[in-house]
Amino acid sequence: MKTETLLQQQLEQLYPYLREKDFLDLVGAARVLKLKNREEIQYPGTTHPILYFVISGAIRGYFQDELQEEKILFLSLPSCFGGNPHEVQDSNPSIMVFEAMGKTEVISFNPMLLRILALQNGTISQFLTDVLININMTLAGRISLISTKRPETRVRKLSEKFPELMQIIPGKYVANFIGITPNSLSRIKSRMRTVI
């Protein structure tokens, strides 16, 4: 399928203000990637950050802390945008890894090209702003969930908001994402099943 057609099919319902001309412009900044399990679309040290839109599968975004432990910031499911908004805004080397969770298809956007298009096209400027706001809101929601909720509440809220996440993403990654151990996640899920 042509990139333009795929872009339009995936984005027109989420961003109804995008016109046919806008999709033609966006094609120059986008490419479709079919990824294998654990295939990286961005790795630490790169100065070419990406924005991505998940068509199928899932993407996890993480960095390694000073103890070399993974800290997951993003778990992106179908119809979700992802990317590190801070890295998109500047050209510092990335600290993030974005990798596929199973067979995954994404539309990858070059943020530099999107920013150039946004200067020339007000509709694409609105699109880029909306995408970055969406990513920031996702991060803010995650921070709020981790900092203000008990582990049981975190699991329940995540299960309610993204029921497919628990089936698609291995438990150790879900646990890392919400700031608990895999054993705690397993115990909480077990208790949740007995309550139902």
Give the pLDDT of the chain (196 residues) as one tens digit per residue. Answer: 687 788 889 999 999 999 999 999 999 999 999 999 999 999 888 877 889 999 999 999 999 999 999 999 999 999 999 998 777 666 678 889 999 999 999 999 998 899 999 999 999 999 999 999 999 998 898 888 888 789 999 999 888 888 888 888 999 999 999 999 999 999 998 888 876 5
Could you tell me if 124 and 27 lie in one domain? yes
DSSP strands (E only) in 13-162: 30-35, 40-42, 51-56, 59-64, 70-76, 81-82, 97-100, 104-109
Could you tell me if 74 and 7 lie in one domain? yes
Could you tell me if 14 and 94 lie in one domain? yes
The whole domain housing 18 covers: 3-135
DSSP state, residue 110: -
Question: Amino acid letter at 98?
Answer: F
Could you tell me if 117 and 178 lie in one domain? no
Number of H helices, E strands in the chain: 9, 8
Domain assignment present for residue 84? The answer is yes
Could you tell me if 106 and 170 lie in one domain? no
Could you tell me if 121 and 156 lie in one domain? no
Domain count, the chain: 2
Domain assignment present for residue 141? The answer is no
Could you tell me if 125 and 165 lie in one domain? no
Predicted structure pTM score = 0.90
CB 46 within 8 A of CB 111: no
Could you tell me if 123 and 167 lie in one domain? no
CA distance 78 to 106: 9
Could you tell me if 166 and 84 lie in one domain? no
